[in-house]
Structure 1
Amino acid sequence: MAFQPVVDLEHQRIYAYEALVRGLNGESAFSVLSQVTTDNRYAFDQSCRMKAIELAGRLGLMKTDASLSINFLPGAMYRPENCVRATLAAAKRHRVPLKRLIFELTENEEITDYEHLESIFRVYRSNSFRTALDDFGSGFSGLALLARFQPDVVKIDMSLIRGLDSHARKHAVVSGIVGICRTLGTKVVAEGVETQAELAALRVIGVNLFQGYLFAKPGFEALPKVDL
Protein backbone atom coordinates (compact mmCIF):
# COMPACT_ATOMS: atom_id res chain seq x y z
CA MET A 1 0.00 0.00 0.00
CA ALA A 2 0.87 3.62 -0.57
CA PHE A 3 -0.96 6.43 1.22
CA GLN A 4 -1.79 9.89 -0.12
CA PRO A 5 -3.20 12.58 2.17
CA VAL A 6 -6.37 14.58 1.62
CA VAL A 7 -5.74 18.03 3.07
CA ASP A 8 -8.33 20.17 4.85
CA LEU A 9 -7.11 23.75 4.42
CA GLU A 10 -10.04 25.28 6.25
CA HIS A 11 -9.04 23.51 9.48
CA GLN A 12 -5.32 23.17 8.66
CA ARG A 13 -5.21 19.40 9.07
CA ILE A 14 -5.05 16.14 7.18
CA TYR A 15 -8.63 15.02 6.60
CA ALA A 16 -7.81 11.49 5.43
CA TYR A 17 -5.19 9.20 3.97
CA GLU A 18 -6.23 7.29 0.87
CA ALA A 19 -4.84 3.75 0.66
CA LEU A 20 -3.55 3.01 -2.85
CA VAL A 21 -2.64 -0.52 -3.86
CA ARG A 22 0.96 -1.17 -4.96
CA GLY A 23 3.06 -4.21 -5.80
CA LEU A 24 5.49 -5.66 -3.27
CA ASN A 25 8.31 -3.70 -4.91
CA GLY A 26 6.31 -0.54 -5.45
CA GLU A 27 4.78 -1.53 -8.81
CA SER A 28 1.89 0.65 -9.97
CA ALA A 29 -1.75 0.11 -9.10
CA PHE A 30 -2.43 -0.71 -12.77
CA SER A 31 0.07 -3.57 -12.75
CA VAL A 32 -1.64 -5.06 -9.70
CA LEU A 33 -5.25 -4.41 -10.70
CA SER A 34 -4.67 -5.92 -14.15
CA GLN A 35 -4.22 -9.27 -12.39
CA VAL A 36 -7.62 -9.11 -10.67
CA THR A 37 -10.11 -11.56 -12.19
CA THR A 38 -13.62 -12.72 -11.42
CA ASP A 39 -12.11 -15.67 -9.56
CA ASN A 40 -9.81 -13.71 -7.25
CA ARG A 41 -11.50 -10.32 -6.80
CA TYR A 42 -13.23 -11.26 -3.53
CA ALA A 43 -9.94 -12.35 -1.96
CA PHE A 44 -8.19 -9.30 -3.41
CA ASP A 45 -10.81 -6.88 -2.09
CA GLN A 46 -10.73 -8.45 1.37
CA SER A 47 -6.93 -8.47 1.47
CA CYS A 48 -6.72 -4.80 0.47
CA ARG A 49 -9.11 -3.74 3.22
CA MET A 50 -7.26 -5.62 5.95
CA LYS A 51 -3.82 -4.62 4.67
CA ALA A 52 -4.79 -0.93 4.52
CA ILE A 53 -6.17 -0.92 8.07
CA GLU A 54 -3.28 -2.95 9.48
CA LEU A 55 -0.56 -0.90 7.80
CA ALA A 56 -2.14 2.50 8.51
CA GLY A 57 -2.53 1.50 12.14
CA ARG A 58 1.08 0.37 12.34
CA LEU A 59 2.28 3.60 10.70
CA GLY A 60 0.56 5.74 13.32
CA LEU A 61 -2.85 6.67 11.90
CA MET A 62 -4.32 6.78 15.40
CA LYS A 63 -1.75 9.37 16.46
CA THR A 64 -3.55 11.72 14.07
CA ASP A 65 -7.21 12.64 13.70
CA ALA A 66 -7.22 11.63 10.01
CA SER A 67 -9.58 9.07 8.52
CA LEU A 68 -8.57 6.15 6.30
CA SER A 69 -10.04 5.96 2.81
CA ILE A 70 -10.18 2.57 1.05
CA ASN A 71 -11.37 1.75 -2.47
CA PHE A 72 -13.80 -1.16 -2.82
CA LEU A 73 -15.04 -3.40 -5.63
CA PRO A 74 -18.86 -3.72 -5.57
CA GLY A 75 -18.67 -6.94 -7.59
CA ALA A 76 -16.54 -8.55 -4.87
CA MET A 77 -19.21 -8.07 -2.18
CA TYR A 78 -21.60 -10.93 -2.80
CA ARG A 79 -23.26 -10.67 0.61
CA PRO A 80 -22.34 -7.25 2.07
CA GLU A 81 -23.26 -8.11 5.66
CA ASN A 82 -20.83 -11.04 5.55
CA CYS A 83 -18.14 -9.31 3.51
CA VAL A 84 -17.60 -6.57 6.11
CA ARG A 85 -16.88 -9.01 8.95
CA ALA A 86 -13.15 -9.12 8.23
CA THR A 87 -13.11 -5.32 7.99
CA LEU A 88 -14.81 -5.00 11.37
CA ALA A 89 -12.38 -7.48 12.89
CA ALA A 90 -9.34 -5.69 11.45
CA ALA A 91 -10.58 -2.32 12.70
CA LYS A 92 -11.12 -3.74 16.18
CA ARG A 93 -7.75 -5.46 16.17
CA HIS A 94 -5.89 -2.28 15.25
CA ARG A 95 -8.12 0.05 17.30
CA VAL A 96 -9.37 2.07 14.33
CA PRO A 97 -12.82 3.55 15.06
CA LEU A 98 -15.34 2.57 12.39
CA LYS A 99 -16.41 6.18 11.88
CA ARG A 100 -12.88 6.92 10.64
CA LEU A 101 -13.16 4.49 7.72
CA ILE A 102 -14.27 5.81 4.32
CA PHE A 103 -15.02 3.42 1.47
CA GLU A 104 -14.63 4.81 -2.04
CA LEU A 105 -16.53 3.71 -5.13
CA THR A 106 -14.89 4.85 -8.35
CA GLU A 107 -17.23 6.33 -10.94
CA ASN A 108 -15.22 4.39 -13.56
CA GLU A 109 -16.76 1.20 -12.16
CA GLU A 110 -19.72 0.43 -14.40
CA ILE A 111 -22.71 -0.45 -12.20
CA THR A 112 -25.13 -3.05 -13.53
CA ASP A 113 -26.95 -3.87 -10.28
CA TYR A 114 -28.02 -0.72 -8.48
CA GLU A 115 -30.05 -2.60 -5.87
CA HIS A 116 -26.96 -4.58 -4.86
CA LEU A 117 -24.93 -1.37 -4.59
CA GLU A 118 -27.71 0.13 -2.49
CA SER A 119 -27.47 -2.83 -0.12
CA ILE A 120 -23.70 -2.27 0.18
CA PHE A 121 -24.20 1.40 1.06
CA ARG A 122 -26.87 0.42 3.58
CA VAL A 123 -24.54 -2.06 5.31
CA TYR A 124 -21.72 0.50 5.34
CA ARG A 125 -23.91 3.11 6.98
CA SER A 126 -25.27 0.65 9.54
CA ASN A 127 -21.65 0.04 10.61
CA SER A 128 -20.84 3.78 10.82
CA PHE A 129 -18.56 3.70 7.75
CA ARG A 130 -18.57 6.75 5.51
CA THR A 131 -18.75 6.50 1.72
CA ALA A 132 -17.17 8.42 -1.15
CA LEU A 133 -17.72 8.62 -4.90
CA ASP A 134 -14.26 8.73 -6.48
CA ASP A 135 -13.20 10.13 -9.89
CA PHE A 136 -16.47 12.06 -10.12
CA GLY A 137 -17.03 13.43 -13.61
CA SER A 138 -14.92 10.87 -15.46
CA GLY A 139 -17.12 7.81 -15.82
CA PHE A 140 -20.58 6.34 -15.68
CA SER A 141 -23.71 8.18 -14.47
CA GLY A 142 -22.05 10.34 -11.84
CA LEU A 143 -25.07 12.53 -11.15
CA ALA A 144 -27.37 9.50 -11.06
CA LEU A 145 -25.12 7.81 -8.49
CA LEU A 146 -24.94 11.01 -6.46
CA ALA A 147 -28.72 11.44 -6.48
CA ARG A 148 -29.49 7.82 -5.63
CA PHE A 149 -26.85 7.07 -3.00
CA GLN A 150 -25.79 10.51 -1.70
CA PRO A 151 -22.29 9.56 -0.50
CA ASP A 152 -20.66 11.47 2.32
CA VAL A 153 -17.84 12.64 0.03
CA VAL A 154 -17.50 13.37 -3.68
CA LYS A 155 -13.98 13.43 -5.15
CA ILE A 156 -13.88 15.46 -8.35
CA ASP A 157 -11.71 13.79 -10.98
CA MET A 158 -8.39 15.40 -11.86
CA SER A 159 -9.42 15.70 -15.51
CA LEU A 160 -11.81 18.47 -14.43
CA ILE A 161 -9.32 20.03 -12.01
CA ARG A 162 -6.34 20.23 -14.34
CA GLY A 163 -6.01 23.82 -15.56
CA LEU A 164 -9.49 24.90 -14.47
CA ASP A 165 -8.06 28.28 -13.44
CA SER A 166 -7.76 29.14 -17.15
CA HIS A 167 -10.57 26.98 -18.54
CA ALA A 168 -13.98 28.63 -18.24
CA ARG A 169 -16.03 25.51 -19.01
CA LYS A 170 -14.20 23.37 -16.45
CA HIS A 171 -14.57 26.17 -13.92
CA ALA A 172 -18.31 26.29 -14.56
CA VAL A 173 -18.74 22.51 -14.30
CA VAL A 174 -16.77 22.26 -11.05
CA SER A 175 -18.69 25.22 -9.61
CA GLY A 176 -21.93 23.40 -10.45
CA ILE A 177 -20.79 20.18 -8.78
CA VAL A 178 -19.73 22.06 -5.65
CA GLY A 179 -23.09 23.82 -5.53
CA ILE A 180 -25.02 20.55 -5.82
CA CYS A 181 -22.91 18.90 -3.13
CA ARG A 182 -23.32 21.88 -0.82
CA THR A 183 -27.11 21.56 -1.16
CA LEU A 184 -26.92 17.81 -0.42
CA GLY A 185 -24.58 18.27 2.54
CA THR A 186 -21.86 16.26 0.79
CA LYS A 187 -18.18 17.13 1.22
CA VAL A 188 -16.10 17.82 -1.91
CA VAL A 189 -12.49 16.81 -2.51
CA ALA A 190 -10.57 18.19 -5.50
CA GLU A 191 -8.26 15.45 -6.82
CA GLY A 192 -4.98 15.91 -8.65
CA VAL A 193 -4.28 19.50 -7.60
CA GLU A 194 -0.80 20.40 -8.88
CA THR A 195 -0.53 24.19 -9.11
CA GLN A 196 -1.11 27.18 -6.88
CA ALA A 197 -3.34 28.67 -9.59
CA GLU A 198 -5.64 25.63 -9.53
CA LEU A 199 -5.72 25.76 -5.74
CA ALA A 200 -6.61 29.47 -5.68
CA ALA A 201 -9.43 28.99 -8.21
CA LEU A 202 -10.84 26.04 -6.26
CA ARG A 203 -10.80 27.97 -2.99
CA VAL A 204 -12.77 30.80 -4.60
CA ILE A 205 -15.34 28.22 -5.77
CA GLY A 206 -15.64 27.00 -2.18
CA VAL A 207 -13.57 23.80 -2.08
CA ASN A 208 -11.64 23.17 1.14
CA LEU A 209 -10.47 19.55 0.76
CA PHE A 210 -7.61 18.79 -1.64
CA GLN A 211 -5.52 15.87 -2.83
CA GLY A 212 -2.61 16.08 -5.23
CA TYR A 213 1.10 16.48 -5.82
CA LEU A 214 0.95 20.13 -4.77
CA PHE A 215 0.63 18.81 -1.21
CA ALA A 216 2.15 15.32 -1.27
CA LYS A 217 2.83 12.35 -3.52
CA PRO A 218 1.69 8.92 -2.32
CA GLY A 219 4.09 7.49 0.27
CA PHE A 220 4.98 3.83 -0.23
CA GLU A 221 4.15 2.14 3.09
CA ALA A 222 4.28 5.58 4.71
CA LEU A 223 1.91 8.32 5.87
CA PRO A 224 3.37 11.43 4.17
CA LYS A 225 3.71 14.60 6.19
CA VAL A 226 2.23 17.82 4.82
CA ASP A 227 3.49 21.30 5.68
CA LEU A 228 0.26 23.23 6.28
Structure 2
Amino acid sequence: MDSPLHGYSKLSCTECRNGAGLDFDFTMAFQPIVDVATGSVFAQEALVRGMNGEGAGSVLARITDANRYRFDQACRVKSVQLAAQLGITSHLSINFLPNAVYRPELCIRTTLEAAETYGFPHARIIFEVTEGEQITDHAHLLGIFTEYKRLGFLTAIDDFGAGYSGLNLLAEFQPDIIKLDMALIRGIDSNRPRQAIVRGIAQVCAELGIRVIAEGIETAEELKPLRDFGITLFQGYYFARPQFEGLAAVKTA
Protein backbone atom coordinates (compact mmCIF):
# COMPACT_ATOMS: atom_id res chain seq x y z
CA MET A 1 0.00 0.00 0.00
CA ASP A 2 1.22 3.51 -0.76
CA SER A 3 2.49 5.61 2.10
CA PRO A 4 0.42 8.74 2.88
CA LEU A 5 3.47 10.66 1.65
CA HIS A 6 3.60 8.84 -1.68
CA GLY A 7 3.80 11.43 -4.43
CA TYR A 8 4.58 14.21 -1.96
CA SER A 9 6.92 15.94 -4.41
CA LYS A 10 4.01 16.21 -6.85
CA LEU A 11 1.95 18.26 -4.36
CA SER A 12 2.61 21.84 -5.36
CA CYS A 13 1.46 24.91 -3.49
CA THR A 14 -1.17 25.51 -6.18
CA GLU A 15 -2.47 21.95 -5.92
CA CYS A 16 -2.84 22.26 -2.15
CA ARG A 17 -4.60 25.60 -2.51
CA ASN A 18 -7.04 24.03 -4.97
CA GLY A 19 -7.64 21.01 -2.72
CA ALA A 20 -5.91 18.37 -4.85
CA GLY A 21 -7.06 14.92 -3.85
CA LEU A 22 -10.15 16.19 -2.02
CA ASP A 23 -13.72 15.79 -3.28
CA PHE A 24 -14.87 18.97 -1.54
CA ASP A 25 -13.76 22.58 -1.26
CA PHE A 26 -13.52 24.89 1.72
CA THR A 27 -12.22 28.28 2.75
CA MET A 28 -11.35 30.25 5.89
CA ALA A 29 -12.72 32.80 8.31
CA PHE A 30 -10.42 34.83 10.54
CA GLN A 31 -10.83 35.71 14.20
CA PRO A 32 -8.43 38.09 15.93
CA ILE A 33 -6.42 37.46 19.08
CA VAL A 34 -6.11 40.78 20.88
CA ASP A 35 -3.24 42.05 23.04
CA VAL A 36 -4.92 44.37 25.55
CA ALA A 37 -1.54 45.52 26.86
CA THR A 38 -0.73 47.19 23.55
CA GLY A 39 -4.25 47.67 22.20
CA SER A 40 -3.33 45.77 19.03
CA VAL A 41 -4.10 42.53 17.23
CA PHE A 42 -1.52 39.92 18.17
CA ALA A 43 -2.70 37.31 15.65
CA GLN A 44 -5.48 36.26 13.33
CA GLU A 45 -6.60 32.65 13.65
CA ALA A 46 -7.63 30.90 10.43
CA LEU A 47 -10.83 28.90 10.97
CA VAL A 48 -12.17 26.37 8.47
CA ARG A 49 -15.47 27.23 6.78
CA GLY A 50 -17.58 25.84 3.97
CA MET A 51 -17.67 27.75 0.71
CA ASN A 52 -21.01 29.31 1.67
CA GLY A 53 -19.99 30.10 5.23
CA GLU A 54 -20.94 26.76 6.74
CA GLY A 55 -19.37 26.03 10.13
CA ALA A 56 -16.19 24.05 10.66
CA GLY A 57 -18.13 20.94 11.69
CA SER A 58 -19.62 20.48 8.24
CA VAL A 59 -16.13 20.48 6.73
CA LEU A 60 -14.36 18.42 9.38
CA ALA A 61 -17.06 15.75 9.11
CA ARG A 62 -15.69 14.94 5.66
CA ILE A 63 -12.16 14.21 6.88
CA THR A 64 -11.12 10.56 6.73
CA ASP A 65 -7.87 8.70 7.26
CA ALA A 66 -7.49 8.66 3.47
CA ASN A 67 -7.70 12.44 2.96
CA ARG A 68 -6.43 13.77 6.31
CA TYR A 69 -2.92 14.56 5.03
CA ARG A 70 -4.07 16.43 1.92
CA PHE A 71 -6.72 18.34 3.90
CA ASP A 72 -4.12 19.43 6.45
CA GLN A 73 -1.78 20.59 3.70
CA ALA A 74 -4.58 22.45 1.90
CA CYS A 75 -5.57 24.23 5.14
CA ARG A 76 -2.06 25.58 5.56
CA VAL A 77 -1.79 26.90 2.02
CA LYS A 78 -5.28 28.43 1.96
CA SER A 79 -4.61 30.14 5.30
CA VAL A 80 -1.35 31.68 4.12
CA GLN A 81 -2.78 32.69 0.75
CA LEU A 82 -5.81 34.44 2.26
CA ALA A 83 -3.71 36.07 4.99
CA ALA A 84 -1.44 37.57 2.35
CA GLN A 85 -4.38 38.71 0.22
CA LEU A 86 -6.02 40.37 3.23
CA GLY A 87 -2.81 42.15 4.14
CA ILE A 88 -2.54 40.61 7.61
CA THR A 89 0.47 42.11 9.38
CA SER A 90 0.03 40.32 12.70
CA HIS A 91 0.85 36.69 13.39
CA LEU A 92 -1.23 34.06 11.60
CA SER A 93 -2.42 31.11 13.68
CA ILE A 94 -3.01 27.85 11.78
CA ASN A 95 -4.52 24.75 13.36
CA PHE A 96 -2.84 21.52 12.31
CA LEU A 97 -3.77 17.88 12.67
CA PRO A 98 -0.85 16.05 14.34
CA ASN A 99 -2.16 12.71 13.13
CA ALA A 100 -1.83 14.03 9.55
CA VAL A 101 1.87 14.85 9.90
CA TYR A 102 3.93 11.80 9.00
CA ARG A 103 7.40 13.29 8.70
CA PRO A 104 7.48 16.90 9.92
CA GLU A 105 10.57 17.84 7.91
CA LEU A 106 8.71 16.85 4.72
CA CYS A 107 5.17 17.90 5.63
CA ILE A 108 6.29 21.45 6.38
CA ARG A 109 7.76 22.05 2.93
CA THR A 110 4.47 23.06 1.36
CA THR A 111 3.91 25.65 4.11
CA LEU A 112 7.36 27.11 3.51
CA GLU A 113 6.67 27.22 -0.22
CA ALA A 114 3.32 28.95 0.37
CA ALA A 115 4.94 31.55 2.65
CA GLU A 116 7.49 32.32 -0.06
CA THR A 117 4.97 32.26 -2.91
CA TYR A 118 2.51 34.64 -1.24
CA GLY A 119 5.10 36.78 0.53
CA PHE A 120 4.00 36.00 4.09
CA PRO A 121 6.95 35.80 6.55
CA HIS A 122 7.01 32.31 8.01
CA ALA A 123 8.31 33.69 11.32
CA ARG A 124 4.82 35.18 11.82
CA ILE A 125 3.09 31.79 11.54
CA ILE A 126 1.86 30.03 14.67
CA PHE A 127 1.07 26.33 14.45
CA GLU A 128 -1.44 25.29 17.07
CA VAL A 129 -2.51 21.76 17.86
CA THR A 130 -5.82 21.21 19.51
CA GLU A 131 -5.59 19.24 22.73
CA GLY A 132 -9.00 17.82 21.92
CA GLU A 133 -7.63 15.60 19.13
CA GLN A 134 -6.60 12.32 20.68
CA ILE A 135 -2.85 11.90 20.37
CA THR A 136 -1.57 8.42 21.06
CA ASP A 137 2.06 9.05 20.13
CA HIS A 138 3.43 11.86 22.29
CA ALA A 139 6.94 11.38 20.95
CA HIS A 140 5.65 12.05 17.44
CA LEU A 141 3.94 15.28 18.53
CA LEU A 142 7.09 16.42 20.33
CA GLY A 143 9.06 15.72 17.17
CA ILE A 144 6.68 17.90 15.15
CA PHE A 145 6.89 20.76 17.64
CA THR A 146 10.67 20.52 17.84
CA GLU A 147 11.06 20.64 14.06
CA TYR A 148 8.64 23.55 13.69
CA LYS A 149 10.44 25.58 16.35
CA ARG A 150 13.79 24.78 14.70
CA LEU A 151 12.47 26.26 11.45
CA GLY A 152 11.37 29.46 13.18
CA PHE A 153 7.63 28.88 13.53
CA LEU A 154 5.82 29.60 16.79
CA THR A 155 4.01 26.69 18.43
CA ALA A 156 0.83 26.60 20.49
CA ILE A 157 -1.41 24.12 22.29
CA ASP A 158 -5.09 24.95 21.77
CA ASP A 159 -7.93 24.08 24.17
CA PHE A 160 -5.46 23.60 27.03
CA GLY A 161 -7.16 22.00 30.02
CA ALA A 162 -9.81 20.15 28.04
CA GLY A 163 -8.07 17.30 26.26
CA TYR A 164 -5.76 14.37 26.49
CA SER A 165 -2.39 15.82 27.43
CA GLY A 166 -2.51 18.78 29.80
CA LEU A 167 0.30 19.31 32.24
CA ASN A 168 2.04 16.06 31.27
CA LEU A 169 2.65 17.42 27.77
CA LEU A 170 3.73 20.77 29.17
CA ALA A 171 6.30 19.03 31.35
CA GLU A 172 7.86 17.39 28.26
CA PHE A 173 7.69 20.32 25.86
CA GLN A 174 7.16 24.01 26.35
CA PRO A 175 5.37 25.62 23.39
CA ASP A 176 5.51 29.35 22.82
CA ILE A 177 1.82 29.72 23.61
CA ILE A 178 -1.04 27.89 25.28
CA LYS A 179 -4.68 28.74 24.68
CA LEU A 180 -6.93 28.13 27.67
CA ASP A 181 -10.04 26.16 26.86
CA MET A 182 -13.15 28.30 26.89
CA ALA A 183 -14.83 25.94 29.36
CA LEU A 184 -12.37 27.24 31.97
CA ILE A 185 -13.20 30.83 31.02
CA ARG A 186 -16.99 30.71 30.93
CA GLY A 187 -18.34 32.51 34.00
CA ILE A 188 -14.90 32.67 35.61
CA ASP A 189 -15.77 35.97 37.29
CA SER A 190 -18.16 34.13 39.65
CA ASN A 191 -16.43 30.74 39.87
CA ARG A 192 -13.64 30.46 42.46
CA PRO A 193 -12.40 26.97 41.41
CA ARG A 194 -11.92 28.14 37.82
CA GLN A 195 -10.17 31.25 39.05
CA ALA A 196 -7.78 29.16 41.14
CA ILE A 197 -7.02 26.79 38.24
CA VAL A 198 -6.44 29.54 35.70
CA ARG A 199 -4.35 31.57 38.14
CA GLY A 200 -2.18 28.51 38.73
CA ILE A 201 -1.75 27.81 35.01
CA ALA A 202 -0.85 31.45 34.39
CA GLN A 203 1.80 31.32 37.13
CA VAL A 204 3.31 28.10 35.76
CA CYS A 205 3.42 29.52 32.24
CA ALA A 206 5.01 32.74 33.45
CA GLU A 207 7.81 30.71 35.06
CA LEU A 208 8.27 28.66 31.87
CA GLY A 209 8.24 31.66 29.53
CA ILE A 210 5.00 30.58 27.83
CA ARG A 211 2.43 33.16 26.74
CA VAL A 212 -1.21 32.48 27.63
CA ILE A 213 -4.22 33.23 25.45
CA ALA A 214 -7.66 33.12 27.06
CA GLU A 215 -10.23 32.24 24.42
CA GLY A 216 -13.99 32.40 24.48
CA ILE A 217 -14.25 35.79 26.19
CA GLU A 218 -17.82 37.02 25.94
CA THR A 219 -18.19 39.63 28.69
CA ALA A 220 -16.23 42.40 30.39
CA GLU A 221 -16.84 40.56 33.68
CA GLU A 222 -14.98 37.48 32.43
CA LEU A 223 -12.13 39.66 31.20
CA LYS A 224 -11.37 41.40 34.50
CA PRO A 225 -10.09 38.48 36.65
CA LEU A 226 -8.04 37.19 33.73
CA ARG A 227 -6.30 40.53 33.40
CA ASP A 228 -5.71 40.48 37.16
CA PHE A 229 -3.87 37.16 36.65
CA GLY A 230 -1.46 38.88 34.25
CA ILE A 231 -2.99 37.52 31.03
CA THR A 232 -2.95 40.05 28.18
CA LEU A 233 -3.87 37.97 25.10
CA PHE A 234 -7.56 37.31 24.48
CA GLN A 235 -9.92 35.93 21.86
CA GLY A 236 -13.69 35.77 21.81
CA TYR A 237 -16.96 37.36 20.76
CA TYR A 238 -16.39 40.20 23.24
CA PHE A 239 -13.61 41.42 20.94
CA ALA A 240 -14.76 40.20 17.51
CA ARG A 241 -16.56 37.36 15.80
CA PRO A 242 -14.89 35.36 13.02
CA GLN A 243 -15.09 37.12 9.66
CA PHE A 244 -15.69 34.99 6.56
CA GLU A 245 -12.72 35.49 4.21
CA GLY A 246 -12.12 38.87 5.84
CA LEU A 247 -10.98 40.80 8.89
CA ALA A 248 -13.42 41.90 11.57
CA ALA A 249 -13.56 45.25 13.33
CA VAL A 250 -11.90 44.67 16.71
CA LYS A 251 -12.55 45.96 20.21
CA THR A 252 -9.08 46.24 21.74
CA ALA A 253 -9.92 46.82 25.42
TM-score class, shorter: over 0.9
Corresponding pairs, count? 225
Deviation at 1:9, TM superposition (A): 0.5
Cα deviations across residues 40-66 of structure 1 (Å, max 9, x unaligned)?
0000000000000000110111xx3x1
**What is the rounded CA distance, in whole Å, between the counterparts of 1:146 and 1:224 in structure 2?**
32
Q: Where does residue 78 of structure 2 map in the other structure?
A: 51
**What is the rounded CA distance, in whole Å, between the counterparts of 1:152 and 1:141 in structure 2?**
16
SS state of the match for residue 180, structure 1?
A: helix
Q: Where does residue 29 of structure 1 map in the other structure?
A: 56
Structure with the greater relative contact order (CA < 8 A, sep ≥ 6): 1 or 2? 1
Residue 164 (str. 1) matches residue 188 (str. 2): yes
**What is the rounded CA distance, in whole Å, between the counterparts of 2:108 and 2:156 in structure 1?**
17
Deviation at 1:141, TM superposition (A): 2.1
Which residue type is aligned with residue 58 of structure 1? Q
**What is the rounded CA distance, in whole Å, between the counterparts of 1:105 and 1:79 in structure 2?**
16
Mark the structure with the bigger radius of gyration.
Answer: 2
Q: Where does residue 148 of structure 2 map in the other structure?
A: 124
Q: Where does residue 150 of structure 1 map in the other structure?
A: 174
Q: Which runs of structure 2 are paired with 1:1-228 in the superposition (5 Å)? A: 1-61=28-88, 64=89, 66-228=90-252
Cα deviations across residues 2-27 of structure 1 (Å, max 9, x unaligned)?
00000000011100000000011111
Cα deviations across residues 143-179 of structure 1 (Å, max 9, x unaligned)?
1111112110000011000000000000000001101
Deviation at 1:138, TM superposition (A): 0.8
**What is the rounded CA distance, in whole Å, between the counterparts of 1:121 and 1:206 in structure 2?**
26
**What is the rounded CA distance, in whole Å, between the counterparts of 1:117 and 1:141 in structure 2?**
11
Deviation at 1:104, TM superposition (A): 0.4
Deviation at 1:221, TM superposition (A): 0.2
Unaligned residue ranges in structure 2 (runs of 5+): 1-27
Runs (4+) of structure 1 moved beyond 4 Å? none
Unaligned residue ranges in structure 1 (runs of 5+): none
Given that 2:189 and 2:225 are in contact with CA atoms closer than 8 Å, whether structure 1 keeps it comes out as yes
Deviation at 1:33, TM superposition (A): 0.5
Identity of aligned residues (%): 56
Deviation at 1:70, TM superposition (A): 0.3
